[in-house]
Structure 1
Amino acid sequence: MPDSDEKVFLKQGPYGYYVQVGEDKKGLYLKRASLSDIKDVDSVTIEDAIDILQYPKILGKHPDDDHPVLMTHSKVGFNIRHRRTLAPVPKNTDPKKITLKEALKLLSGKNVKKFGRPKGKAANKEPIEWH
Structure 2
Amino acid sequence: QVLLKGGPYGSYVQLGEDRKGYLPKRASVSLIKDLGSITLEHAIDLLRYPITLGNHPVDGLPIQIKISKTGFTIRHRRNIAPVPKSVIANDIDMEKALLLLNGPDVKRSGRPKGKKRLEEEEAVDDI
Q: TM-score, normalised by structure 2?
A: 0.85
Q: 2:89 aligns with which of 68, 77, 95?
A: 95
Match of 2:3 in 1: 9
Q: 1:36 aligns with which of 19, 30, 34?
A: 30
The higher radius of gyration belongs to 2
Match of 1:23 in 2: 17
Letter in 2 for 1:79: T
* Identical positions, percent: 55
Aligned length: 119
Give RMSD over aligned pairs: 2.0
Letter in 2 for 1:104: L
Distance 1:55 1:9 in 2: 16
Listed one character per residue, the Cα deviations across residues 65-118 of structure 1 (whole Å, up to 9, x for unaligned) are 111100111221111100111000111111111110110110011100111235
Q: Secondary structure at the residue paired with 1:104?
A: helix
- How many angstroms does 1:27 deviate by? 2.3
Q: 1:51 aligns with which of 45, 60, 64?
A: 45
Listed one character per residue, the Cα deviations across residues 14-57 of structure 1 (whole Å, up to 9, x for unaligned) are 12210011111122222111111111101111101001111110
Q: Tell me if 1:82 matches 2:73.
A: no
Structure 1: 5+ residue runs without aligned partners? 1-6, 125-131
Higher relative helix content: 2
Tell me, yes or no, if the aligned pair for 1:78 and 1:89 is still in contact at 8 Å. Answer: yes
Q: 2:104 aligns with which of 104, 110, 118?
A: 110
Q: TM-score, normalised by structure 1?
A: 0.83
Tell me, yes or no, if the aligned pair for 1:69 and 1:82 is still in contact at 8 Å. Answer: yes
Tell me, yes or no, if the aligned pair for 1:67 and 1:83 is still in contact at 8 Å. Answer: yes
1:123/1:29 Cα in 2 relative to 1: closer, same or farther (>3 Å)? farther
Match of 1:129 in 2: none
Letter in 2 for 1:56: P
1:35/1:108 Cα in 2 relative to 1: closer, same or farther (>3 Å)? same
